[in-house]
Amino acid sequence: MSMPEAAAPSASADRSALLESLRWKKFPVLDDGFVALVDCMGEDGSVVQAARVSYGEGTRKVSDDRQLIRYLMRHAHTTPLEMAELKFVVRVPMDCWRQWIRHRTASINEYSTRYSLAIDSMQSTHDDEWRAQAANNRQGSGDFLPKSAGHKLTQSEMELQSFARRVYEERLEAGIAREQARKDLPLATYTEAYWKIDLHNLLHFLALRMDVHAQLEIRRYAETIGQQIVQPLFPLVWEAFLDYRVDAMRLTKLDKGVIQRLVAQSGQKGLPASQEHFLEAQDPSWKPLERSRERDECLQKLTTLGLVK
């Protein structure tokens, strides 16, 4: 096996300068949160190098780095992406952190309130940031409430958080163990953690948490990690990630069947089809249902593609 070619001195120096400019730089998120890069192992070339070991000699003549990375992403060949790793330190509200650590493909070391005092900071909600429950999604948000309605909620939030912190500190002053004194702190309390993850699993995290259906708070963290850190460090991977994951569209077998039936009807009815014609072409399994999320998702896809109006 031949050794990989060394990077040109100028390119290596530029890369080192970029990495140093990002390391330990705190990118603010929410009102008192942040993400910071601690270290990074690898770059676009690391992904290419790992892939070419698998493909053997001669690959460089057939495909340049960008084309190869795009091929890997397009066909979900993810192992080469695991050759790069990033380590972050994050400050995040505990309720948001609960969602974060559902991604079990990272190494985590969290700030411990058994050994140390809880961070004296809680996420606050401004008057215009309160969101109504979504009407058609049990775990999602709907529209923002009017600022006038949110003012009272913000005031009561401030009172609750202040009271909870005072109770916590009174317990500590009374000699109560930190592990017990903390139990009534709100989920809005910030925590900090080191989070190390390979590039493949990081992109999976970002694809899910940057999605419009993700909770807004964790979406802000994902967007910051992706745009401020991953994009400059892995520009070719990031470009392919946007093209083939974030901005791509997945068509199911049932979706394709609807498209085929609409195209078959287009000779008489033309495209874009009406929603009435879409309902005529829908999958038979959706027809008995008064409400079908899958049907709604298919309609949204075909409307985006301009096949239904």
Residue with tokens 């429950």: 133
Beta strand spans in 68-176 (E): 85-93, 107-110, 131-133, 141-144
Residue 140 structure tokens: 């999602």
In whole angstroms, give the CA distance from residue 284 to residue 246: 30
| From 70, 209, 219, 295, the catalytic residue | 209
Beta strand spans in 148-283 (E): 190-198
Task: Label residues 165-184 b or e (16+ Cβ within 10 Å = b).
Answer: beebeebeeeeeebeebbee
CB 206 within 8 A of CB 181: no
209 is catalytic: yes
**SS3 of 242, please?**
helix
146, with CB counted inside 10 A (0-12, 13-18, 19+), is exposed
CB 100 within 8 A of CB 196: no
- What is the DSSP code (8-state) at residue 83? G
User: Catalytic positions, please?
Assistant: 209
